[in-house]
């Protein structure tokens, strides 16, 4: 079973824990952490990232599949990466569309998406959305100080030209 864990658990932020891996996500990225089996080395690891499939296995004497399955949505394979660090396989999948995922693999129990934080950093917004957020923040600041907001300033500018 998989459940949303508190925000302070970075490995599972907006994600969960299964018996095989831990996962977290933002609107644009999904991170999967798999513990490297005892006695395995980074060179034994193979990660296959396809548009809608993920497979992680180690090969020593024979192939041992750690996780494998169909992803619920597409990922961008060229922007997705993986590495092994401190005995953990870190897989970072770039989502093809901004959305929160209920699970990593089709058929697994889904987390409660009403409890995730679907926040996007201002720096990650497109220029038009970034400008709109800045305008709203400016207007809020002006309003709190009793000063004219952007639409009022624009009106004053037009009146002065008339």
Instruction: Give the span between the Cα atoms of 87 and 100, in whole angstroms.
Output: 28
Q: How do strand 45-49 and strand 29-35 relate by DSSP bridges?
A: unpaired
Tokens of 128: 């038009």
The model's pTM is 0.69
Match 């897989």 to its residue by tokens: 91
pLDDT of residue 8: 42
In tens digits, what is the pLDDT along the chain, a chain of 162 residues? 444 444 445 778 899 999 999 999 998 999 999 999 998 999 999 999 999 999 999 998 888 999 999 999 999 999 999 999 999 999 999 999 999 999 999 999 999 888 887 766 666 666 776 677 677 777 787 888 888 877 777 777 777 777
**DSSP label at 111?**
P
Q: CB–CB of 25/69 below 8 Å?
A: no
pLDDT of residue 124: 63
Match 């995922």 to its residue by tokens: 101
The Cα-based distances of 4 to 10, 22, 26, 150 in angstroms read 12, 11, 13, 40
Q: CB–CB of 98/87 below 8 Å?
A: no
pLDDT of residue 7: 40
Tokens of 146: 């009793």
């Amino acid at each position: 079973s998989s459940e949303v864990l508190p925000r302070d658990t970075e490995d599972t932020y907006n994600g969960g824990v299964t018996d095989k891996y831990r996962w977290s996500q933002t609107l644009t990225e999904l991170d999967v952490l798999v513990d490297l089996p005892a006695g395995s080395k980074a060179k034994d690891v193979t990660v296959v990232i396809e548009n809608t499939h993920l497979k992680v296995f180690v090969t020593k004497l024979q192939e041992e599949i750690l996780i494998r399955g169909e992803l619920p949505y597409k990922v961008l394979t060229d922007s997705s990466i993986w590495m092994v660090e401190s005995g953990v396989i870190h897989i970072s999948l770039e989502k093809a569309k901004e959305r929160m995922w209920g699970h990593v693999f089709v058929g697994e129990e889904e987390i409660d998406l009403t409890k995730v934080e679907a926040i996007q950093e201002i720096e990650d917004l497109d220029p038009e959305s970034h400008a709109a957020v800045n305008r709203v923040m400016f207007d809020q600041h002006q309003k709190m100080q009793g000063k004219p907001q952007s639409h009022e300033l624009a009106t004053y500018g037009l009146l002065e030209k008339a």
